Amino acid sequence: MNLTQPTTTGPRNDIRLYTLLASVPEGKVVTYGQLAELIGLPRRARWVGQILKQLPNDTRLPWHRVINAQGRISLPPLNGGDEQAKRLREEGVVVSQDGKISLRRYGWKTQPRPRPRLL
DNA sequence: TCCGTGACAAGAC
DNA sequence: CGTCTTGCCACGG
């Protein structure tokens, strides 16, 4: 078996993903791609989505803090999307009515806007 | 094995 | 902004 390439399947990376996700602080959001990259699996954003999809409904993990790179909720409104927006708002994240979220302000590990010099 | 599908991403316009 | 296209990769039929 090829051990030189990072594997995607199997519980190993799943655990790494869960662990990382669990560390995303309240009031912050991450993108699928970021999560994948942070655990050493670049370009596996879709895989992250697959894993999250399988989470039990009563999971304690902050799945709602995961959004797409466009700063939008990827979940259909009637299938979790509304719930996600609700949870995010409950922790202070501003979600515009059309489901847009500012990654600049709420993105985890993303540069907060460089403060403009006042003179 | 080929092919479509998906909680994605980035770039062109 | 929106829409399209391409690239990506795991899965399942």
Tens digit of each residue's pLDDT (9 = 90 or more) over A34-89: 999 999 999 999 999 999 999 999 999 999 999 999 999 999 999 999 999 999 99
Residue-number span of the structural domain to which A53 is assigned: 11-106
Whether A87 is in a domain gets the answer yes
What is d(CA A95, CA A12) in angstroms, rounded to the nearest whole number? 33
- Per-residue pLDDT band for A97 (boundaries 50, 70, 90) equals confident
Chain A span 73-102 residues with beta carbon within 7 Å of strand C: 98, 100
Please tell me the total count of domains within chain A: 1
Query: What is the C-alpha R_g of chain A?
Result: 15
**CA A22 to C1' B7, whole Å:** 17
CATH number, domain containing residue A25: 1.10.10.10
Three-point CA angle A99, A22, A79, nearest 5°: 35
* Mean pLDDT, residues A93-112 taken together: 91
Closest CA to A63 of A38, A81, A46: A81
Closest CA to A91 of A3, A33, A28, A13: A28
What is d(CA A119, CA A22) in angstroms, rounded to the nearest whole number? 41
| pLDDT (0 to 100) of residue A114 | 67
* Residue A32 CB in 7 A reach of strand B: yes
Nucleotide nearest to A33 (CA to C1'): B8
* A2 pLDDT more than 70: no
**CA A50 to C1' C10, whole Å:** 9
Nucleotides of B under 7 A from a protein CB: 6-10
